[in-house]
């Protein structure tokens, strides 16, 4: 059995985080190329957009990977910093609600995305 020392854990966590970031970069490029282009996200900027999106997701308590992945989907569709974008005030309002658990916030975001034009 492999054992890690306490001081090794931050390096291990950073490696896991980096792998997740690059997995999301590849996935978003493949699944949302038109949305990313529409929102002005260039390939060279996508890693930074994903890292910032992960940080924002955590701020809104989207901690688990499936929720974080959904949050990054919203970032691709609505644009970076969508939670503070005046073009999408409904998104920030949902994310700031204290009366909802994170899964309910994700459901409301998803329902609202269905009705948003993707021009």
pLDDT digits (tens, 9 = 90+) for 37-88: 999 999 999 999 999 999 999 999 999 999 999 999 999 999 999 999 999 9
Query: Taking the model in full, what pTM does it have?
Result: 0.85
Structure-derived torsion over alpha carbons of residues 58, 63, 69, 70, reported in degrees to the nearest 10: -80
Local confidence band at 119 (pLDDT 50, 70, 90 cut-offs): low
């Amino acid at each position: 059995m492999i054992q890690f020392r306490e001081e090794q854990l931050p390096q291990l966590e950073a490696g896991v985080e980096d792998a997740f970031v690059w997995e999301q970069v590849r996935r978003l490029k493949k699944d949302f190329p038109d949305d990313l282009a529409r929102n002005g996200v260039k390939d060279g900027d996508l890693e930074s957009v994903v890292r910032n999106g992960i940080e924002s997701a955590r701020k809104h308590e989207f901690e688990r990977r499936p929720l974080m992945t959904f949050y990054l989907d919203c970032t691709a569709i609505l644009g970076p910093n969508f939670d503070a974008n005046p073009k999408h005030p409904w998104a920030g309002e949902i994310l700031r609600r204290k009366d909802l658990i994170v899964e309910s916030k994700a459901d409301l975001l998803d329902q609202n995305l269905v009705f948003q034009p993707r021009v």
